[in-house]
Structure 1
Amino acid sequence: MKKTLLFLGVVLLALVRQPLAAQTTINVFNGVLYYDGYAATVTNPAPPTGVIRHRNDLYARRLTATEIQSIGTLLTMKVTIAAACDNYDRIGNVNLALVPKGATTYVPADVQHIEIARYITPFMDKNKTPSSVSYDYEISNIAALLKETSLSANYDFWVELQVFGVPYAANTQIAGCTGRTDVFYGSLDFTTNAPAPAQSANVLRPLLYQASLNNYQASATDTLGKTTRTVNFILPVGLTDAALFLVTSNHGANSGGEEYNRRMHYAYFDNVLKLSYKPGRVSCEPFRQYNTQANGIYGPSAQTNAQWQSFSNWCPGDKIDIRRINLGPLAAGSHSFRIRVPDAAFAGGQGDIPTSVYLQGKTSGVLSTAGSRTATGAFFLYPNPSAGLVTVANPAGVAVRELVVRNSLGQVVHRAAGSTAPQFTLSLGSLAAGTYVAEIRTADGVATRTFQVAH
């Protein structure tokens, strides 16, 4: 019996430490250089071969047939932003554009998009380290769309990497930036598992794409004076399972602006409240290391959790959550999505809440839980990458039943008991270097977070 147990232990250890040979990495953008977002589009130097510079803040590249064929059932994404001559916090996005098949270029305003990720750059001085920051996302639901034949028959998939920057402050504040117009470098990589076959049961319905939400513009609200926006749409087919993917972030840095006031957000589907949330991390301290330019957000010393929660809607150097709202089966016909932020003030008629949401469903079967996040949680892991000690932040104190860690092959390599603590630590030093997915299991779903172990 002891020999049997010893043999099983050796086998399990070998599985945990086996090389991640099944992973495939697709480099979509490699250090593309962004320029002053307010200036005329730069034409010289030209962007890399295969890459289109739509604007100084927006690059696009078509995914090739070979790249799409290599995609499996799991998909993670890493965005890396490196400092050039913008030393302020800026908003960035990753978008998937559905472009008529065979087109060699397109006008962004003329094609359908979904926003698949959003992030905020740190205050960076290019002469100090770290001079770059990476943002990791679990986007396996996008893998299903990229494999969907009803979409690929009519569209090519173009990935857009967007970051708006201006060099004016850095021109005078950062050594080596005098007279320069370049602001950031951007890179993007997809990582996936073994190739999966094509699919024919996925439905995509873009609803809002980087749309303004406020209470003072007729185009950004249902009713002036109220921060409410509704989208009515028709679903041509019934779905066996569906979910909404929602991205919002509050902006407006004027005195009393929306960046500095945490507000409750309410999302409805067919007039039924499906999600309520208040943006913001328990603390921005994990991201202080990337903010190498002195600034008024981080200040000269660490702040308490209570201080951060009193004004911080998001952290410079952090990503913005992708909120998944599980809907279950849906009948064909008329439906509606609505988002409300009733306490938003927009002092001085300034500020905005850029909002993106799309519906994804299946005509048979169910959506994968990979990449889902529980409706009531706002979990994040740090540091990432980690040498082995990973802290799970749970600012809402959601009851976590269990935490499961899987390697890139989908194998369970670690289990931990649940907790309701605002944060708890995992000891994962025994894991081999590589990319892992943490499944944070709660009563109302599974939140997944991708992280890396780097010894």
Structure 2
Amino acid sequence: MTPSSCMQRLAATALLGLSVGGAMAAPGTFNVFSDLPMFGIYVSTPPAYTPPPGVVMQRNGTRFVTQLTSAQRALIGSDLKARVTYHAQCDNYDRLGAMFLIVKPVGVPLSDGDPITEVARWITPFSNYWNGVKATYTFPDADLSAFAGLMRNPNLDVWVGIDGGSNPYTGDPCTNRDVTPEFRAVGFRYSLDLASTRGTPKLKSTAAMPVPFGDYTAVPVAGAARLAQASAGTAVVIVSGHGAANGGDEYKHTNDTLTLNGNVVGSFSTMVDCKRYRQYSPDGNPFIFLNNKTSNPRNWCPGALVAARAFKVSLLPENTVSLGMGDARVPEGSYYRTSITLLPH
């Protein structure tokens, strides 16, 4: 099935699910972005590109957002999944990408400085170019169930976005090819669909971000967040290490501990095995995908999601969090891309 026919099928599925006997119905599947271009992260001016209606381009074409409609939100069930599809073009390297939310009171306009809530992260594969047999790749589904109640809440405006950008470079697959400058400027494209199969989530009215989505060069990574009242809740942690020089954070896995208000509420290992993702990176260094649990440790894989880890917690009006990496050394040039979100129930 081609990407365009897949998008048509998903759009048809969403339309069929919009109403049953004249009433809004859930769950269902709907398209958010289709073939969204990712421009260069080192470009200092906006590209000559007009986004589709309802889509806002930010950060010189490396971030795009769109507001969910009431019809789309009616299709959000309790088992919400995000399906990100990568369409290769000029940049065949592994790059960071993220899906995020911007949640605002009804009617408050979007601005470039709005804080974002990261809900999914991934690393692109080493593609075999825009016309190769593996030029289109769909990542494993990202579980957004913890955020479903927030995204469905009709008393809020919810924007969905993709962040990342690409890096078309001299010598990339488009160099010395008969392509237009406009084609040459795009590293790859993303499509995004949201899918639910059951249930209706309990509505949530807020999300707090004690550790905003960002790159941190010291550990532990710590922060604080204020809530309206004490409640049960969920803490969602997304973390990945980056940097190749001096035994950088890309080449290790760590045993991490999440502390909330002075109490350990969760722990996990960032160890991954990249072997099964090798097939999706035909132009990549095969060494990346070997012996990841022994002599070649890693905490992320090209072509894979970065795990989002959710922990049930007890939240207070004033909350402090700390994420320890089990390793106090962050080499020069390395960083931990981290986000921690608190979701009251």
Shorter-chain TM-score bucket reads 0.7 to 0.9
Partner of 2:161: 160
**Structure 2 residue corresponding to 1:316, chosen from 286, 289, 302:** 302
Contact 2:98 2:118 in 1 (8 A): yes
Contact 1:146 1:157 in 2 (8 A): yes
1:292-346, Cα deviation, whole Å (9 max, x unpaired): 2142644xxx734545x6322211111000001111x44x433211112242423
Cα distance change of structure 1 residues 326 and 255 upon mapping to structure 2, 3 Å threshold? same
* Distance apart, 1:270 and its partner CA: 1.3
Partner of 2:327: 343
Counterpart Cα distance in 2 of 1:272 and 1:173: 52
Partner of 2:265: 274
Partner of 2:128: 125
Partner of 1:182: 186
1:404-441, Cα deviation, whole Å (9 max, x unpaired): xxxxxxxxxxxxxxxxxxxxxxxxxxxxxxxxxxxxxx
Write the letter of the residue equivalent to 1:341: M
Partner of 1:303: 290
User: For 1:1-400, what aligned pairs fall within 5 Å after superposition?
Assistant: 24-55=28-59, 56-103=61-108, 105-107=110-112, 109=113, 111-126=114-129, 127-135=131-139, 136-148=141-153, 152-153=154-155, 155-171=156-172, 176=177, 180-193=184-197, 196=200, 202-215=205-218, 227-239=219-231, 241-281=232-272, 283-295=273-285, 297-298=287-288, 303-304=290-291, 306-307=293-294, 310-327=296-313, 329-330=314-315, 332-347=316-331, 349-362=332-345
SS in 1 for 2:146: helix
Counterpart Cα distance in 1 of 2:46 and 2:341: 32
Specify the structure having the higher radius of gyration (Cα).
1
Contact 1:93 1:161 in 2 (8 A): yes
Counterpart Cα distance in 2 of 1:265 and 1:232: 18
SS in 1 for 2:119: strand
Write the letter of the residue equivalent to 2:337: P
Normalised by the size of structure 2, how large is the TM-score?
A: 0.83
Counterpart Cα distance in 2 of 1:131 and 1:260: 27
SS in 2 for 1:343: coil
What runs of 5+ residues in structure 2 fail to find an aligned partner? 1-15, 18-25
SS in 1 for 2:336: coil
* Distance apart, 1:200 and its partner CA: 5.3
Counterpart Cα distance in 1 of 2:290 and 2:78: 41
What runs of 5+ residues in structure 1 fail to find an aligned partner? 1-19, 216-226, 363-455
Counterpart Cα distance in 1 of 2:105 and 2:234: 25
Normalised by the size of structure 1, how large is the TM-score?
A: 0.64
Partner of 1:13: none
1:141-164, Cα deviation, whole Å (9 max, x unpaired): 22111233xxx53x4111001222
Counterpart Cα distance in 2 of 1:177 and 1:320: 36
* Distance apart, 1:95 and its partner CA: 0.3
> Which structure is higher in RCO with an 8 Å CA cutoff and minimum separation 6?
2
* Distance apart, 1:30 and its partner CA: 0.4
Percent identical among aligned pairs is 26
Cα distance change of structure 1 residues 90 and 361 upon mapping to structure 2, 3 Å threshold? same
Contact 1:125 1:174 in 2 (8 A): no
SS in 1 for 2:335: coil
* Distance apart, 1:23 and its partner CA: 5.2
Counterpart Cα distance in 1 of 2:170 and 2:177: 12
1:201-253, Cα deviation, whole Å (9 max, x unpaired): 654222222123223xxxxxxxxxxx1232233332121x2110010000011
* Distance apart, 1:139 and its partner CA: 1.3
* Matched residues, number: 316
Counterpart Cα distance in 2 of 1:143 and 1:289: 32
Counterpart Cα distance in 2 of 1:68 and 1:23: 9
Write the letter of the residue equivalent to 1:251: H
